[in-house]
Chains A and B, each alone.
Chain A
Amino acid sequence: MTSKAQNQARFGVPDNSMVFARGVRKSFGAIEVLKGIDLNVPTGSVACVIGPSGSGKSTFLRCINHLEEVSGGVLLVDGEFVGYDLRHGKLYEVNNKLLCQRRADIGMVFQSFNLFSHMTALENLIEAPMMVKGMSKAEAKDKAYTLLERVGLSAKADAYPRQLSGGQQQRVAIARALAMNPKVLLFDEPTSALDPELVGEVLVVMRDLAESGMTMVVVTHEIGFAREVGDQLIFMDGGVVEERGEPREMIANPQSPRTREFLSHVL
Chain B
Amino acid sequence: MDRADTHTPPPEALTVVPLRHYGLWVGTAITLAILGLIFKALATNPAFDWPTVGKYLFHPSIIRGLGQTLVLTVTIMVLAIIIGTIVAIMRLSPSRILNAFASAYIWFFRGAPALIQLIFWFNLALIVREFSLTLPFIGTVFTVKTNDFMTPFVAAVVALSLHEAGYMAEIVRAGINSVASGQTEAAGSLGMNHRLILRRITLPQAMRFIVPPTGNETINLLKTTSLVTIIAVNDLLYAAQSIYARTFETIPLLIVVAFWYLFVVTILSIGQHYIEQYYGRSDQQQGVSLRETLKRAFRFGRVAQPA
Binding site for B on A (CB under 8 A): 65, 67, 96-97, 100-108, 110, 112, 114-120, 127-128, 131-132, 158-163, 173, 176-177, 180
Q: Interface-forming stretch among B25-33, B71-79, B193-201? A: B193-201
Give every chain A residue within 8 A of B182 (Cβ-Cβ). Answer: 110, 112, 114
Q: Are A103 and B282 in contact (CB under 8 A)?
A: no
Q: Are B192 and A118 in contact (CB under 8 A)?
A: no
Q: Which of B155-203 contact A (CB under 8 A)?
A: 180, 182-183, 185-194, 196, 200-201
Q: A128 with B183: in contact, given A118-B205, A160-B287, A162-B282 (CB under 8 Å)?
A: no
Nearest CB of chain B from residue A137's CB, rounded to whole Å: 14
Q: Are A132 and B282 in contact (CB under 8 A)?
A: no
Q: Are A131 and B196 in contact (CB under 8 A)?
A: yes
Nearest CB of chain A from residue B132's CB, rounded to whole Å: 39
Give every chain B residue within 8 A of A159 (Cβ-Cβ). Answer: 287
Q: Is B283 an interface residue (CB 8 A)?
A: yes
Q: How far is B281's CA from A161's CA once the two chains are assembled, in angstroms?
A: 12
Q: How far is B187's CA from A105's CA once the two chains are assembled, in angstroms?
A: 13
Q: A116 with B186: in contact, given A132-B196, A158-B287, A161-B282 (CB under 8 Å)?
A: yes
* Contacts A/B (CB < 8 Å), 24 sampled: A67-B188, A67-B189, A97-B193, A101-B191, A102-B191, A103-B188, A104-B191, A110-B182, A110-B185, A114-B180, A114-B182, A114-B183, A116-B183, A117-B183, A117-B205, A118-B282, A120-B287, A128-B192, A132-B190, A160-B287, A163-B287, A176-B190, A180-B190, A180-B191
Q: Which of B277-307 contact A (CB under 8 A)?
A: 281-283, 285, 287
Nearest CB of chain B from residue A265's CB, rounded to whole Å: 28
Q: A103 with B200: in contact, given A116-B186, A118-B282 (CB under 8 Å)?
A: no
Selected from A105, A107, A117, the residue in CB contact (under 8 A) with B282 is: A117
Give every chain B residue within 8 A of A115 (Cβ-Cβ). Answer: 186
Give every chain B residue within 8 A of A131 (Cβ-Cβ). Answer: 192, 196, 200
Q: Are A67 and B287 in contact (CB under 8 A)?
A: no
